[in-house]
Amino acid sequence: MQQDGGVKDVVILGSTGSIGMQALDLVRANPDRFRVVGLTAGGSNPELFARQVEEFAPVVHGLGEEASIDAAAHECDVVLNGITGAVGLRPTLAALDAGRTLALANKESLVMGGPLVLDRAAPGQIVPVDSEHSALAQCLRSGADHEVRKLVLTASGGPFRGRSRGELAQVTPEQAMAHPTWDMGPVITINSATLVNKGLEVIEAHLLFGVPYDAIEVVVHPTSVVHSMVEFVDGSTLVQASPPTMLIPIALGLSWPDRVPDAAPAVDWSTAQTWQFDPLDDDAFPAVALAREAGRRGGTAPAVYNAANEVAVAAFREGRLSFTGIVDVVADVVSSHDVVSEQAIALDDVLGADGWAREAAAAAVAGNR
pLDDT digits (tens, 9 = 90+) for 98-115: 999 999 999 889 999 998
Task: With a cut of 90, say whether residue 344 has pLDDT above it.
Answer: no
CATH class as words, domain 8-128: alpha beta
**What average pLDDT does the structure give for the chain?**
94
Show the CA angle centred on residue 171, arms to residues 167 and 174, nearest 5°.
150
Predicted structure pTM score: 0.93
pLDDT digits (tens, 9 = 90+) for 259-275: 999 999 999 999 999 99
Q: Is the Cβ–Cβ distance between 185 and 192 less than 8 Å?
A: no
Would you say the CATH fold of 298-369 matches that of 8-128?
no
pLDDT digits (tens, 9 = 90+) for 195-249: 999 999 999 999 999 999 999 999 999 999 999 999 999 999 999 999 999 999 9
What pairs with residue 234 in β-bridges?
A: none
As a whole-number percent, the residues of the chain with pLDDT over 70 amount to 97
Task: With a cut of 90, say whether residue 6 has pLDDT above it.
Answer: no
Question: Where in the chain are the domains?
Answer: 8-128, 130-293, 298-369
Task: With a cut of 70, say whether residue 122 has pLDDT above it.
Answer: yes
Rounded Cα distance, 5 and 299, in Å: 44
Task: With a cut of 60, say whether residue 4 has pLDDT above it.
Answer: no
Q: Is the Cβ–Cβ distance between 195 and 201 less than 8 Å?
A: no
Rounded Cα distance, 247 and 264, in Å: 6
Q: Is the Cβ–Cβ distance between 3 and 58 less than 8 Å?
A: no
Q: Is the Cβ–Cβ distance between 213 and 202 less than 8 Å?
A: yes
Q: What is the pLDDT of residue 369?
A: 60
Rounded Cα distance, 339 and 188, in Å: 26
Q: At what angle do helices 347-367 and 323-335 cross, to 10 degrees?
A: 130
pLDDT digits (tens, 9 = 90+) for 65-75: 999 999 999 99
Rounded Cα distance, 192 and 72, in Å: 28
As a whole-number percent, the residues of the chain with pLDDT over 90 amount to 88
3-state secondary structure of 13: strand
Reported confidence tier of residue 367, pLDDT bands at 50, 70, 90: confident
CATH class as words, domain 298-369: mainly alpha
